[in-house]
A = this chain, B = another copy of it.
């Protein structure tokens, strides 16, 4: 059955694509096998991550960028990650409105990812959704997130190109983005650049850049846009292409890929371990319930307990896996 789904997905069936993403998003039975089956078909898409504060105009910018790219006819996938919502259901509603906007263009596929109920996991499911889109033959994938939580930062960091979107004149209280997000930008966009204060934002970015040095020695350009009017979209696409060309020229594509997978492996392992921890906590005749009671009664301290449990993991998990054949272990 999963093979059929893979075949249909590969042949461009949009419903199969939607179903596959839902499967990985919900961690529904077979999600892991599905990703295994799809993995050989991945690695071809360009993945662009775009992030910024709420109200920075990300959706409009991404839509304009998609429209621009569509002139050359690539298959485009958009993943909009929106863990914040005005009360409830915001992401879904926004999704529907945007779908209407691109209605009739099967070359653009838009999908919203909202939060998962469990601890963490949003970064993983989003990157997995991008993997599905990649395998489905999408040439270009844009992942758009609100740059406020660690999850969201983790998501865009794993893109090939990271665009950070700022806006002038919103005041310090609102133009708050996650600490550390400035450092991951490959390209800065000052959107709504016709508003007052655009120069100030630019100066602040330049001041920050004068202090930092990047490992890859790339200086992130600043592109000014007015997304609602389509201003600066072509320039942004060019800046993205420039960075991709730079990565290629400096032989950094593979290196960046390896670094991303290092991070991803740790995250995936964390998620798998959390799942295991949960299973054990819920099982064993409610043993965790009793531990929790003992801690609440101050009969046991939780720090020693967790240490004891972790110490139980004596076997090196990694040593259970065959090492790469080429290099012998030192």
Contacts and interface: CB of A to CB of B under 8 A. Distances in A.
A84 interface: yes
A104 interface: no
Given A306-B268, A321-B312, A120 B296 contact: no
A257 B296 CA distance: 6
A120 B119 CA distance: 10
A316 B288 CA distance: 13
The CB with the most chain B CB atoms within 10 A, among A84, A276, A308, A330, is that of: A84
Nearest to A128: B303
Interface stretch (A6-14, A64-72, A232-240, A278-286): A278-286
Contacts of A267: 119
A85 B179 contact: yes
Interface of A: 32, 35-36, 39-40, 42-43, 54-55, 83-88, 90-91, 114-115, 117, 119-120, 122, 146, 148-152, 154, 172-180, 182, 204, 208, 254, 257-262, 264-270, 272-278, 280-281, 284-285, 287-296, 298, 301-321, 323-324, 327, 329-330
Give 6 nearest A-B pairs by CB, closest first: A149-B149, A312-B320, A84-B176, A261-B292, A257-B296, A272-B310
